[in-house]
Amino acid sequence: MTQTPAPADLYNHALADAYDALKMAADYEIWADLLEGVLQEQGCTGRRFLDVGCGTGTSSLAMQRRGFEVTACDISEEMLEIARGKDRAGNVRFLQADMRALPDSLAGFHLIHWLDDVANHLLGPADLGAAVRSSAGALVPGGVLVFDVNPLATFTAHYSLRRRSVVERDDTVIISTGLTARPSADSPAEARLTAFRHQGDGLWTRRSATVLEHHFEDRTVRNAIADAGLDLVGSYGFGDMTAPGKLVRPADEQRHPKIVYVARRPVSADRAGH
């Protein structure tokens, strides 16, 4: 199995304690609404939810507050550490796991999601295939897998050479600088991420790491879903200002900030994956 170098470097050493500054809490509620809508549409009433690549646990806790029984995993111990710190009551089970080979103990879920370009951290079709198979195996028959990928427009916006973006919030400033001459379909692309954090008394820390993401073409994702024995419910554009919080069809690589895939384990099929 190919190794994923990005999380160890990026999330463990540079970004974990600055990650939440990049995110808006309200966006996780919008996503949770969307997941509940998908489950309703699919007639899936079970409440066992697995948050794969849970990061600092914001989506795990949003779903727990909505009455889901939540298990959450990530490859980065540092991200999990922060997630556990937010869950003082211990309502969510957080564990370290690689999404390409989830432990057999993770089984029987009605809903699994990989939120916010977790999929693009997988560095090629073989890793993507392994991850979809592994999640498929953790679903109950009729269970639903939902994940988003960054389309080419997002790669171009963030990873093109010298393309720079800055996020500034409270005591954190994060600068992203693209490193890839021309991001292209079904290929990896890189950016340099530098996080400055104010520690008090005018003292700032500075940490940098490389973000490495892989763009997946629609047909690569569809193949991974079919090979894992899942039925594709649909692919949708998401994050468009003209339809906030909505899944829209058709997905457009050039227009939508995210593309969302919804897949379902057939009710009659044998257990896919492990």
Ligand X SMILES: C[S@@+](CC[C@H](N)C(=O)[O-])C[C@H]1O[C@@H](n2cnc3c(N)ncnc32)[C@H](O)[C@@H]1O
Q: Which residues sit at the interface with ligand X, rule CB under 6 A?
A: 4, 7, 11, 23, 53-55, 58-59, 74-76, 79, 98-100, 115-118, 121
CB contact at 8 A, 251 and 236: yes
Smallest separation (angstroms) from ligand X to the CB of 18: 12
DSSP strand pairing (188-200 vs 93-96): unpaired
- Rounded Cα–Cα distance for residues 144 and 55 (Å): 21
- Is the CB of 82 or the CB of 263 nearer to ligand X? 82
- Is the CB of 81 or the CB of 117 nearer to ligand X? 117
- Is the CB of 10 or the CB of 225 nearer to ligand X? 10
Q: What is the DSSP string of 104-136?
A: TTS--EEEEEE-SSTGGGS-SHHHHHHHHHHHH
- Is the CB of 149 or the CB of 152 nearer to ligand X? 149
**Omega before 103 cis (within 30°)?**
no
Smallest separation (angstroms) from ligand X to the CB of 102: 9
CA angle, 262 as apex, 252 and 94 as ends, to 5°?
A: 120
CB contact at 8 A, 221 and 117: no
Smallest separation (angstroms) from ligand X to the CB of 167: 13
Q: What is the dihedral of CA 272, 238, 185, 120, to 10 degrees?
A: -50
Q: Tokens standing for 86? A: 């937010």
Smallest separation (angstroms) from ligand X to the CB of 4: 5
- Is the CB of 83 or the CB of 263 nearer to ligand X? 83
Half-sphere exposure of 86 (CA within 13 A, CB side): 19
- Rounded Cα–Cα distance for residues 257 and 209 (Å): 23
Q: Which residue number is nearest to ligand X in terms of Cβ?
A: 55
Smallest separation (angstroms) from ligand X to the CB of 141: 24
Smallest separation (angstroms) from ligand X to the CB of 179: 18
- Is the CB of 59 or the CB of 156 nearer to ligand X? 59
- Is the CB of 98 or the CB of 253 nearer to ligand X? 98
Smallest separation (angstroms) from ligand X to the CB of 266: 25
- Rounded Cα–Cα distance for residues 224 and 185 (Å): 16
- Rounded Cα–Cα distance for residues 156 and 185 (Å): 10
